Chains A and B, each alone.
Chain A
Amino acid sequence: MSSSLASRRSTGQPDIAAATQPQPTRRTSQSRTRSNLSGWAFATPFLVFFLVFLVWPILYGIYMSLTGKSLTGANDSLIGFANYAEALADADMWRSLGNTFYFTVISTVPLVLVALVMAALLNVGLPAQWLWRLSYFAPYLLASTVVSLFFTWMYNPQLGLINDFLSKMGLPKVAWLNDPNVAMWAIVIATLWWTVGFNFLLYLAAMQNIPAQHYEAASLDGAGAWRQFFSITLPQLTPTTVMIVLLQILASMKIFDQVYQMTAGGPGGSTRPVVQYIFETGFTGYRLGYSAAISYIFFGLIVLVSVMQFVITRRRSA
């Protein structure tokens, strides 16, 4: 689904070659066996890693979630769905899910809109394209830890650049990372700075793929740049926008790094996302089984969103 876009961009080759390949009229059973063998031989290296480091942990995790397994080695026996029952009644889990949900909602909108504005500005045909691309995209190349160090320093209540600016403008100082009402927004701002460049590049590539004829025709009809953006660019970008929004939602749901590094989930648990709760239950609380159960509840939600994505993209292409 998604990659058809990607590969369309990467080669100009039409798909006909693959579609009209001559089918062998008669295949001996010997050559069929050979095909089977070589097919699986080529697949084997990937399959080994896939089975050992993805399929096995996913299945073993389900088993773990049904036990009282802990890092202290306490209770290894099966306890049925007790962990799930406990999780569903766990106010801290719900709160962390709520925080993840809140972050996802308030981060997705600016991460998509700002990316669109950046790409639209460049698409006007500004000079020095590389300069704009560099400045918008460079933060994406940083590790989360670097971003957190930068922003923790700028958010510093007394010595920080941002509060200094605010007080020079005659505005009150803000306790960015220490105020439960503000901390999540502070994290959204840092995240926007860090990752918007990625969405920006996707938008820019999609805009440059819009056939020039569309604009030529509109120009002849006397449509200005502003008009062209809304009646040609935006509609042509709809499939891209749908993909970016859904990928962004899935990415935002996995939020952990910045929060853990900047606020450690605080103040008072007001920013702790569900991935951090999983991490803490498992590695600080040593309750691996319980932690696994919460992981699968989280996984269920991710699957739900992915299925919605699938249904929506299907309906669009149908």
Chain B
Amino acid sequence: MAIPTLTRPTPRTNTSQEARKPRKKMTAGKIAALVVAAFIAVLWMIPFAWATATAFKTETDAAAPKVSWMPPSGFTAEAFVKVFQDGNIPLWTWNSFYTSAAITAITLVISALVAYALSRIDFKGKKVLMTVIIASIIIPPPVLIIPLFYQMLALHLIDTSWAIILPQVIHPAMVFVLKKFFDQIPRELEEAAVMDGASRLRIFTQIILPLSQPILAAVAIFVFIGAWNNFLWPFIATNDGGLLTLPVGLQTIKSAYGIQYAQNMASALLAALPLILVFLFFQRQIIKGVATTGLAGT
């Protein structure tokens, strides 16, 4: 790729401001990097492109033995029409949306509250609580599926949305992320409010939370994406077709449509669309959110 001698910078004036400016000049090394980056990007787009090409074919063309990007009978949207007529994609999308939204909302509220206590309030047993929460980060969700399923059966929650939502709201790592953030908010900001006799809850909602918007957004994004795409637990917790989330519902179409390749790909693309659209609009926030919370563990 880059060859050292070609990318050696020309001597420049040495103010740090000057040095910080991004170099606009395209060196040979940069061009090489651009070529490689573009090659990977094209490779990474192929599955999307091929799924799209297939979804807009007739079923006959999609299953034709001669593999081709340009179908003989031209492109058509009939697979999408069929999926919308017969399929449950809108229902599954709705189920995914409201369960993920509920999971995100509950997670944010309960995690921020406990994180505030751990960060600001001196109470007996705080150290133990902190240790237990941090230790629980290592519990892998697959270990819980058997006892949780049994518990949900006993609580008569299997085949309700609650079975999907309730076990997914505990994110010890996110409590930790929030606590770390609260720790860095200067205490002076609260002191005036304390003098005025404001309650803890008021300080929390009117001072701490508004200052914590970036981290709350980051946690929300992380939790929402995880809940939206979760497969294993919703797959176990629901059999009722009316409750299936998008990832679980999609698993049933393979057998339902058999070898209807165009319809399979149309369904997959429709399932992919919501989060991709959200990403296009909120790219900056999502990338920042993932980078902020990501290392805290999943």
A-B pairs, 5 with minimum CB distance: A39-B123, A224-B4, A42-B117, A205-B291, A61-B147
Q: In the complex, A251→B140 CA distance in Å? A: 9
Contacts of B295 in A (CB 8 A): 2-3, 5-6, 202, 240, 243-244, 247
Q: Tell whether B198 is near chain A: CB-to-CB under 8 Å.
A: no
What size tier do the contact residues of chain A reach? 35 or more
Do residues A247 and B298 form an inter-chain contact, with CB atoms below 8 A? yes
Contacts of B218 in A (CB 8 A): 10
- Cβ of B32 to closest chain A Cβ, rounded Å: 9
Do residues A131 and B41 form an inter-chain contact, with CB atoms below 8 A? yes
Do residues A49 and B170 form an inter-chain contact, with CB atoms below 8 A? yes
If A39-B117, A42-B113, A275-B142 touch, does A216 touch B291 (CB 8 Å cutoff)? no
Q: Which of A3, A54, A118 has the most CB of B within 10 A?
A: A3
If A53-B166, A54-B139, A141-B276 touch, does A160 touch B67 (CB 8 Å cutoff)? yes
Q: Tell whether A11 is near chain B: CB-to-CB under 8 Å.
A: yes
Mark each residue of chain A from 125 to 157: 1 if its CB lies under 8 Å from any CB of chain B, else 0: 111001111111111011111100111111000
Do residues A226 and B4 form an inter-chain contact, with CB atoms below 8 A? yes
Q: Tell whether A186 is near chain B: CB-to-CB under 8 Å.
A: no
Do residues B126 and A18 form an inter-chain contact, with CB atoms below 8 A? no
Residues of A within 8 A of B (CB): 2-7, 9-11, 13-15, 17-18, 21, 32, 35-43, 45-47, 49-50, 52-58, 60-61, 64, 69, 117-118, 121-122, 124-127, 130-139, 141-146, 149-154, 158-161, 164, 193, 198, 201-202, 204-205, 212-213, 216, 219-220, 222-227, 240, 243-244, 247, 250-251, 253-254, 256-257, 261, 275, 278-279, 282-283, 288, 291-292, 295-296, 298-299, 302-303, 306
Do residues A153 and B54 form an inter-chain contact, with CB atoms below 8 A? yes
What is the count of residue pairs linking A and B with beta-carbon distances less than 8 angstroms? 349
Q: Tell whether B187 is near chain A: CB-to-CB under 8 Å.
A: yes
Residues of B within 8 A of A (CB): 1-9, 14, 16, 19-20, 22-23, 27, 29-30, 33-34, 36-37, 40-41, 44-48, 50-51, 54, 63-65, 67, 106, 109-111, 113-114, 116-119, 121-126, 129, 133, 136, 138-151, 166-167, 169-170, 172-173, 175-177, 180-181, 183-188, 200, 204, 214-215, 218, 225, 228-229, 231-232, 236, 246-248, 250-251, 254, 261, 264-265, 267-268, 271-272, 275-276, 279-280, 283, 287, 290-298
If A45-B114, A164-B67, A302-B140 touch, does A141 touch B275 (CB 8 Å cutoff)? yes
Closest chain B residue to A168, Cβ basis = B67
Contacts of B254 in A (CB 8 A): 149, 152
Do residues A143 and B16 form an inter-chain contact, with CB atoms below 8 A? no
Contacts of A53 in B (CB 8 A): 148, 151, 166-167, 169-170
- Name B's interface SS: helix
If A6-B292, A122-B37 touch, does A282 touch B246 (CB 8 Å cutoff)? no
Q: In the complex, A159→B63 CA distance in Å? A: 7
Do residues A295 and B143 form an inter-chain contact, with CB atoms below 8 A? yes
Q: In the complex, A23→B254 CA distance in Å? A: 64
- Cβ of B271 to closest chain A Cβ, rounded Å: 5
Contacts of B122 in A (CB 8 A): 32, 35, 39
Contacts of B268 in A (CB 8 A): 145-146, 149-150
Contacts of A292 in B (CB 8 A): 146-147
